C-alpha cells in the first residue's frame, strides 16, 4: 500500500487565498470562544436568584473557610495553564504538528469557556445555598423560621455583599466543572496520542491517560472539605466538565478508537493540490511508521506537516450546505419508478440438485 502521506511536492507553499479561507473557516470558532469567555466572567457580578432556607438545616451550618485549599488563581493554573503548557510538549514528543497545536488549543479554550458559561448561568438561576451559608449570613441571635415558611436572605446581617451573594451559588460546583473540563480535555488528548484503545491492553498508558482526571477529582473533593459545595454540586459539576471536554475534543479530533487517533482533523476547506490525506484503512508496518512520523526528519511544528497539512485525518462528511440541499428536488422531480435490476449469484439462479429432484418427483 502506498504511503498515507504526500509523496508529490509535500511542502508546496499555500497561496494567500487559501490562507485567508483557512483563517475565515475557523474564525467563528474563535469568536464563539471569546464570547463564551466574556459571558463567563461577566456573569460573576450578576445578582442571581437566592433561595429560601431554614435556620434549622444542619447542612448549612458549616463554618465559612476564609482560605480555600484551591483558590481561584490556583484553579486557573490547574484547568488552563497546565493543559496549555503540557499539550504542546506532548505534541513535540509525538507528531510535531502545528495544526495539532491549533486544534488542541482551540478545543481546550472552547471547552473551558463553554463550561464556565453554563456553570455561571446555572449558579445565578438555581441559587442554591452553600453549606456555609448560615455562617456567611450572620443572622441575629434567636432568629427562627416563620411558623409556616422559611427564612429569607433579607434577614442576614452580613455587610459584605460579595460574600453573601456567593453564598447562594452552590450548584453546580465551578471548581469541579472547570477542572474536569481542562484536565479532562488533556486526558482525552493524551489518550489519543497514546492510542489508549488499540486493543493491546497496556496498563501504563491507561494510568497515564487517567492521571489528569485524578488531579481534577482532587480539586473537586477539596470543595467539600472547604464546605463550599454539597456532594451533589460536585458530582454534577464533574459530569458537566467531562461531557463538554469530550464534546469539544471530538470537534477537532477523531474517535479514541480510531487508528489515527493521534492526528487532528484536516481543515474544513478543500485542498489546493491532489495530496493524499490519511484515511481509516488498515496499514502495513511501513505505512504505520510513516503515519506516526517515525523515521522522518522533523522539526518543531512544521517539517512533518508541510503547508498542506499532510498529517491530518481527512474529513469524509459533506459540507453542511450540501446536506441541507440533499433531496430538495424530490417533490418537484419524483424518483423514477423503474425497478432496480439485481445481480444474483449462480447459486441463487440455479436451484440445488436435491430441490430440483423433489420438484420433478412432485410433478410426476
Instruction: Give me the active site residues, please.
Output: 175, 229
Rounded CA Rg of the chain: 29
Show the cell assigned to 20: 485567508
The x, y and z cell numbers of residue 166, run together, are 456567593
Which residues, in sequence order, are CB contacts of 210 under 8 Å at separation 6+?
A: 187
**C-alpha grid cell for residue 320?**
453542511
How far apart CA 65 and CA 228 sit, in angstroms, is 8
Point out which residues pair with 53 in neighbouring strands.
151
Residue 119's closest CA among 51, 183, 46, 172?
Answer: 172
| 179 contacts: CB under 8 Å, gap ≥ 6 | 75, 78, 79, 215, 216, 219, 220, 241
Amino acid at each position: 500500500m502506498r504511503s498515507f502521506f504526500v509523496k508529490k511536492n509535500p511542502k508546496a507553499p499555500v497561496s494567500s487565498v487559501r490562507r485567508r479561507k483557512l483563517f475565515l473557516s475557523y474564525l467563528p470558532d474563535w469568536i464563539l470562544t471569546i464570547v463564551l469567555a466574556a459571558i463567563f466572567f461577566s456573569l460573576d457580578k450578576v445578582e442571581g436568584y437566592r433561595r429560601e432556607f431554614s435556620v434549622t438545616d444542619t447542612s448549612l451550618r458549616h463554618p465559612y473557610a476564609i482560605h480555600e485549599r484551591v483558590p481561584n488563581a490556583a484553579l486557573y493554573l490547574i484547568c488552563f495553564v497546565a493543559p496549555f503548557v503540557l499539550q504542546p510538549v506532548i505534541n513535540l514528543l509525538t507528531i510535531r504538528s502545528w495544526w495539532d497545536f491549533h486544534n488542541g488549543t482551540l478545543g481546550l479554550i472552547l471547552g473551558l469557556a463553554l463550561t464556565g458559561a453554563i456553570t455561571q448561568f446555572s449558579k445565578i438561576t438555581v441559587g442554591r445555598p452553600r453549606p456555609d451559608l448560615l455562617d456567611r449570613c450572620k443572622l441575629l441571635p434567636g432568629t427562627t423560621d416563620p411558623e409556616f415558611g422559611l427564612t429569607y436572605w433579607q434577614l442576614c446581617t452580613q455587610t459584605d455583599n460579595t460574600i453573601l451573594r456567593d453564598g447562594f451559588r452552590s450548584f453546580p460546583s465551578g471548581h469541579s466543572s472547570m477542572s474536569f473540563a481542562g484536565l479532562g480535555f488533556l486526558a482525552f488528548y493524551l489518550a489519543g496520542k497514546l492510542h489508549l484503545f488499540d486493543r493491546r491492553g497496556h496498563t501504563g498508558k491507561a494510568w497515564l491517560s487517567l492521571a489528569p482526571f485524578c488531579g481534577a477529582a482532587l480539586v473537586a473533593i477539596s470543595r467539600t472539605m472547604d464546605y463550599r459545595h454539597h456532594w451533589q454540586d460536585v458530582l454534577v459539576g464533574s459530569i458537566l466538565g467531562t461531557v463538554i471536554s469530550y464534546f469539544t475534543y471530538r470537534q477537532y479530533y477523531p474517535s479514541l478508537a480510531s487508528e489515527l487517533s493521534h492526528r487532528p482533523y484536516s481543515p474544513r476547506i478543500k485542498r489546493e493540490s491532489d495530496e493524499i490525506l490519511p484515511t481509516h484503512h488498515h496499514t502495513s508496518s511501513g505505512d504505520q511508521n510513516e503515519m506516526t512520523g517515525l523515521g522522518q526528519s522533523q522539526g518543531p511544528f512544521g517539517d512533518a506537516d508541510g503547508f498542506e497539512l499532510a498529517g491530518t485525518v481527512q474529513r469524509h462528511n459533506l459540507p453542511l450546505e450540501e446536506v441541507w440541499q440533499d433531496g430538495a428536488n424530490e417533490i418537484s422531480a419524483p424518483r423514477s419508478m423503474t425497478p432496480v435490476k439485481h445481480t444474483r449469484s449462480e447459486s441463487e439462479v440455479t436451484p440445488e440438485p436435491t430441490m430440483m429432484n423433489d420438484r420433478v418427483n412432485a410433478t410426476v
